[in-house]
Structure 1
Amino acid sequence: MIIRENGENIMRKKKKRNDLMEISSAVNDLLTEVVADRRALHQIPELGLQEKETSAYIKKRLADFGVTEVYDLLDTAVVAVYRGEKEGKTLAFRTDIDALPVMEETGVEFASKHPGKMHACGHDGHMATMLGFAQYLSLHPEEIIGTIVLLFQPAEEGPGGAQLLIDDGFLTKFQIDQIIGLHVFPEFDEGIIACKSHAMMARNGEIYLTVKGISSHGAQPQQGADAILAASAIIQGLHAIVSRNISPMESAVLTFGKITGGEAMNIIPGMVKIEGTMRAFSDDVYDTMTERVQCVATEIAKGYGCECVVEFNHMYRVVDNDPSMVDALKKIAKTSYVQTPPYMLAEDFSMYQKEIPGLFFFVGIRNESKGYVAPLHSGKMNFDETYLLGGIECYRQLIAELNKGESV
């Protein structure tokens, strides 16, 4: 899950704990192995497109379950396919497998063995959930309707493994009808299943500004064009975009978290670089922000005798949940279900949803009494694996629920 703002701290939505989801005995029986898988994977975090050890572990576990139809994609992606005797949809279930460049601070005995890398966004839990689901399908093939495709996807944190797989033909090769994914989330109490129809997470992009001036001695500013002064004015001007160019009925974020420039205190610098992020729940709003950033930055720079080069890295799209799939999840989760507010976080699962209907939901892992309160991307992020079973239970029941009304 992409979080680009430095030190982002999402305002927590206080939710009273609902009745916990009822977990079937067959899913409860998986807990020991789910815990073991999560803790083993937690120790071997790898960055995007470098997940060799992780992929090898996943393939070994699939072999342990007797899965025979397994494919390698993009070097580190793994796909497992289950084909049922009953006709039905082809449902894909996706987990991310990459880690973050974060130093672990949990102090747990199963901490990362790769210094400076950590599963600080819960992808170890997502993989353990998927492996538990794989084991369940192997033990209960009678529950398989149509074709079930399990996708272990690299590089969610960047550069965006979902789009790489789409470009590689994943959706067409396996003829995927619908796709499902989840994310552990410390904003909701343990056992909560949270989701909403349509926009749940934001579209995001990165902004890179290079302000080019003319260097001169600080005692002779008239001989130069001050890139620092121009950069300061540009940042102030850009922050008016959300308040003055976006409807107050819409939501948008524009944040600049990095600025570099200058060589000495008495030299007017000839170049300053600014980096930031922008996010919105609407493509129209996002496009307006893009146009205004380009215009405002370049025109303000001219007023200071400088030039501003504007570059964008348009990343992920809006996580846009299919309402009928959300209804199916509500029916399964019952009283453990809550409607989440939308979050300005971004997730490359959204790239699949551009192509086919998809469902993405949160699994609550927050427990203040146990200290499970650290936000995603924190070196202290941790959780109780027991609550991963809720994800497996949702997955197994979604097979039947999403195939209702189909010819089986």
Structure 2
Amino acid sequence: MKKLTFSVLCFISLTLSAQGSNKKEEAVAQSTNNIHQSVQIETDRIFDKLVNIRREFHENPELAGYEKQTQERIKQYLLDLGLEVKTGGYGYSVVGILKGDQKGKKIVWRSDMDALPNDYPDPEVFKSKIKGIQHGCGHDIHMAVGLGIAEVLSKNKKSLKGTVYFIFQPEEETFKGAKEMLDKGLLSIINPDEIYGLHVTAIPVGQIMVKPNEMFAYQKKIRIQLKNGLSEDETKGLTKKISNFLYRIQPEAKPWELQSIIDSKIGLANPDTIFKDYLFMDGKFTAYSKNNESFFETYLYETNSSNLDKIIPGVQKIIEDNGYKDKLLSVSFVQGNPTVINDEKLTKSATEILQNLYGKNTIAIDYGQVPFFNDDFSYFQQKIAGVYFFLGGSNFEKGVIAMNHSPNFQVDEESIRTGVRSFSSLLIERLNRN
């Protein structure tokens, strides 16, 4: 037997090492593929059940602060899956806890629960049984997706490195529930690393939309307080000048026309969208008098946070420059909730994960900010790095348009399948990465 030289031995050693490394990588890749195949199979298996529970929620809607039956249904569903369940933190909230077989990160999936006070036409056969109350914003879909993710992940518990908390949050429509849950000590119980959530909306079913940073415009209610004494003509002239100052849009754009968010040329998915770099008022000023003082109020929508501090001084200057300095009592923001701001790093990671697993067309990049709407998910994001997604609910061929808070609001229930499959996979991947 010929004696091998030292260099040949080194070459053989490196070759074997590389072959072992490649086999290990192939095994990891195969394991990953198996997990996500399991996710898809399980999602399909429970889909009809999730549709049924969504319809149950739709038929039995409950307003913010009254989600008692909804809480009981969610609680029992999670208990049947074997999750630890906590209630009593705030209102009718539910927290389901799923611990993976291995230690790791702690991630939250949040779903909101409450319905709307309205009596709009509802095209569904399974209409609300409660007069004047509807799930006209899609929270019934959100709860079905949340329960579906919980079930899929519970079936893949052995593959999870860490813990998933499923927060079912009451009172989103009143912008109260998230803040109250935090104020009542939620984070002392769960202490998560990341948080995720979604909202079904009018983009096409099968599509998910997301962007880093602000998803919505900043909403502020401004109040101008003057001493009485302005004539009708003076009031009209002054408010017109202020209105002109509070108006910045792209040429020919009308960002208040929400139906345009799905337009291929000017909608959210187009880099040239009209839903960016704007400031406008929600209609005209509301005027009223009290105790010999005049008040003018309106809601503003601004996309750029750096411009917010310029608004009040700018309005004050217009009033003073027009000779009403002695009548000016105050200009102030009297209402303004925080807006949803997605963590840049997590948004990039989530986008790459979903595109790699389910194709580039699964994720549409959002280039704008939606006015009028907002979500108290923003309070969670002030404490926890997180990402908020839009989930497509419209099916234009079927005439299904998921325009929230609108008459004939309807959602293609295939969105449930998309949500459960995609976000189950996302949470698994995020848990299993250091």
- TM-score tier, shorter chain, comes to 0.7 to 0.9
Shift of residue 29, structure 1, vs aligned partner: 0.9
Partner of 2:324, secondary structure, is helix
Aligned to 2:178: 162
Aligned to 1:97: 113
* 8 Å contact from structure 2 (residues 287, 297) kept in 1: no
1:1-12 aligned within 5 A: none
Q: Any idea what the Cα deviations from partners look like across 1:295-330, whole Å, max 9, x if unmatched? A: 656876936957566452121224223334433333
* Structure 1 unmatched ranges of 5 or more: 1-20, 215-224, 245-249, 264-268
Aligned to 1:348: 376
Residues 1:297 and 1:151: Cα distance change in structure 2 (over 3 Å)? farther
The structure that has the greater radius of gyration is 2
* 8 Å contact from structure 1 (residues 325, 402) kept in 2: no
In the alignment, structure 1 residue 46 sits paired with structure 2 residue 62: yes
CA RMSD, 1 decimal: 3.1
> Following the alignment from structure 1 to structure 2, what is the Cα–Cα distance between the partners of residues 208 and 262?
11
Shift of residue 379, structure 1, vs aligned partner: 2.5
In the alignment, structure 1 residue 288 sits paired with structure 2 residue 288: no
Could you tell me which amino acid in structure 1 is paired with residue 336 of structure 2? H
Aligned to 1:152: 168
Shift of residue 170, structure 1, vs aligned partner: 1.8
Shift of residue 93, structure 1, vs aligned partner: 0.4
Aligned to 1:403: 431
Partner of 2:369, secondary structure, is coil
* 8 Å contact from structure 2 (residues 107, 192) kept in 1: yes
Could you tell me which amino acid in structure 1 is paired with residue 124 of structure 2? V
Could you tell me which amino acid in structure 2 is paired with residue 92 of structure 1? V
1:200 is aligned, of 215, 226, 232, to 215
Q: Any idea what the Cα deviations from partners look like across 1:72-119, whole Å, max 9, x if unmatched? A: 321111111111121111000001112222213123221122222221
* 8 Å contact from structure 2 (residues 215, 368) kept in 1: yes
Aligned to 2:277: 251
Work out the percentage of aligned pairs sharing the same amino acid. Answer: 27
Shift of residue 381, structure 1, vs aligned partner: 0.9
* Structure 2 unmatched ranges of 5 or more: 1-35, 250-275
Could you tell me which amino acid in structure 1 is paired with residue 214 of structure 2? A
1:317 is aligned, of 332, 335, 339, to 339
Could you tell me which amino acid in structure 2 is paired with residue 382 of structure 1? Q
* 8 Å contact from structure 2 (residues 47, 417) kept in 1: yes
Q: Any idea what the Cα deviations from partners look like across 1:141-162, whole Å, max 9, x if unmatched? A: 2233211100111222223322
> Following the alignment from structure 2 to structure 1, what is the Cα–Cα distance between the partners of residues 321 and 131?
45
Shift of residue 168, structure 1, vs aligned partner: 2.2
Aligned to 1:233: 238
TM-score if structure 2 supplies the norm length? 0.75
Partner of 1:34, secondary structure, is helix
* 8 Å contact from structure 2 (residues 220, 301) kept in 1: yes
Residues 1:205 and 1:311: Cα distance change in structure 2 (over 3 Å)? closer
Q: Kindly indicate which of the two structures has a greater share of residues assigned to helix.
A: 2
1:6-405 aligned within 5 A: 24-186=40-202, 188-209=203-224, 213=228, 225-226=230-231, 229-230=234-235, 233-243=238-248, 251-257=277-283, 259-260=285-286, 273-293=295-315, 296=318, 302=324, 310-332=332-354, 333-335=358-360, 336-345=362-371, 346-405=374-433
Residues 1:116 and 1:207: Cα distance change in structure 2 (over 3 Å)? farther
> Following the alignment from structure 2 to structure 1, what is the Cα–Cα distance between the partners of residues 315 and 73?
45
* 8 Å contact from structure 1 (residues 258, 274) kept in 2: no
Residues 1:326 and 1:80: Cα distance change in structure 2 (over 3 Å)? same
Shift of residue 206, structure 1, vs aligned partner: 2.5
The number of residues matched between the two structures is 366
* 8 Å contact from structure 1 (residues 213, 226) kept in 2: no
Residues 1:290 and 1:349: Cα distance change in structure 2 (over 3 Å)? farther
Residues 1:304 and 1:396: Cα distance change in structure 2 (over 3 Å)? same
* 8 Å contact from structure 1 (residues 301, 308) kept in 2: no
Shift of residue 357, structure 1, vs aligned partner: 1.3
> Following the alignment from structure 1 to structure 2, what is the Cα–Cα distance between the partners of residues 298 and 76?
50
* 8 Å contact from structure 1 (residues 280, 344) kept in 2: no
TM-score if structure 1 supplies the norm length? 0.79
> Following the alignment from structure 2 to structure 1, what is the Cα–Cα distance between the partners of residues 113 and 377?
13
* 8 Å contact from structure 1 (residues 118, 379) kept in 2: no
Shift of residue 255, structure 1, vs aligned partner: 1.3
> Following the alignment from structure 1 to structure 2, what is the Cα–Cα distance between the partners of residues 102 and 295?
41
